[in-house]
Amino acid sequence: MTSIINRDNAPAHLFSIPELDFSDDLFAEPLGGQWFRLAAFTKVNSRNQRGVEDVVSRQSLLLAPEEFANIYDRLEAIGNVIGNLGKPSNSVIHDGEHKSYEYAPFHKFEIAFNTAIAEPLVVVRFSISGTGLFINPDLWLFLELEEKTPCSGIWWDPQRGVEALRRRTADGNKLEIVEIQVAYLLKYLQARQLSLVVGHYRSFPSL
């Protein structure tokens, strides 16, 4: 599997400043290795000695293959299009004197200014207890996975005795990550007949 962008075709100045180097994001092999990263979220923001902060936001959604071209221009750099991914919503529509109420559950995400409807797979969830990544239960239910121990963040395949889906932290517990074994991801996508769209946003705010 080759990377999406060939490093040799990119200008050298993109890598001249180590703190602003996006190489790992740009040149990663999408399905390289045993695990695929479905989501990532910077839980703890901190700045280095130069005042630079590394912030990562990566979420996944399912979409009909033919719809991607329709939403492409809406996937702006700042990620506001999928900012409410995985959140229930309601609206009141006025048509003259007629008024109707519409409700969209968390698993039905309507792309703004578009007719495309996506299904969140892994999203950032904000709650009173804290902020973290939420995995759509349909994923591990279809794959018949079981969580090893409650709240462990590790789902395994009891028939094969292997870990298939995991939620863990990295970078000194600053980054929360959700990963799935590639073989299980491909099996799930084949069954759903949907495309996987990964919104990966990374920024380096500075003082």
The pLDDT tens digits of the residues spanning 29-55 come to 666 678 998 988 888 666 655 556 677
**What does the alpha-carbon distance between residue 170 and residue 157 come to, in Å, rounded to a whole number?**
24
Rounded to the nearest 5 degrees, what angle is found at the Cα of 130, between the Cα atoms of 129 and 132? Answer: 125
Residue found under tokens 């959604």: 61
* pLDDT confidence tier of residue 144, bands split at 50, 70 and 90: very high
Residue 173 zone, left/alpha/beta (φ > 0; ψ -120 to 50; rest): left
**pLDDT tens for each residue of 104-123:** 777 888 776 677 888 999 98
The count of C-alpha atoms lying within 13 angstroms of the C-alpha of 205, restricted to the half-sphere facing its C-beta, is 8
pTM comes to 0.75
**CB of 92 within 8 A of CB of 99?**
yes
Query: 5-41 in b/e burial notation, b at 16+ Cβ within 10 A?
Result: eeeeeeeeeeeeeeeeeeeeebeeeeeeeebbbbbbb
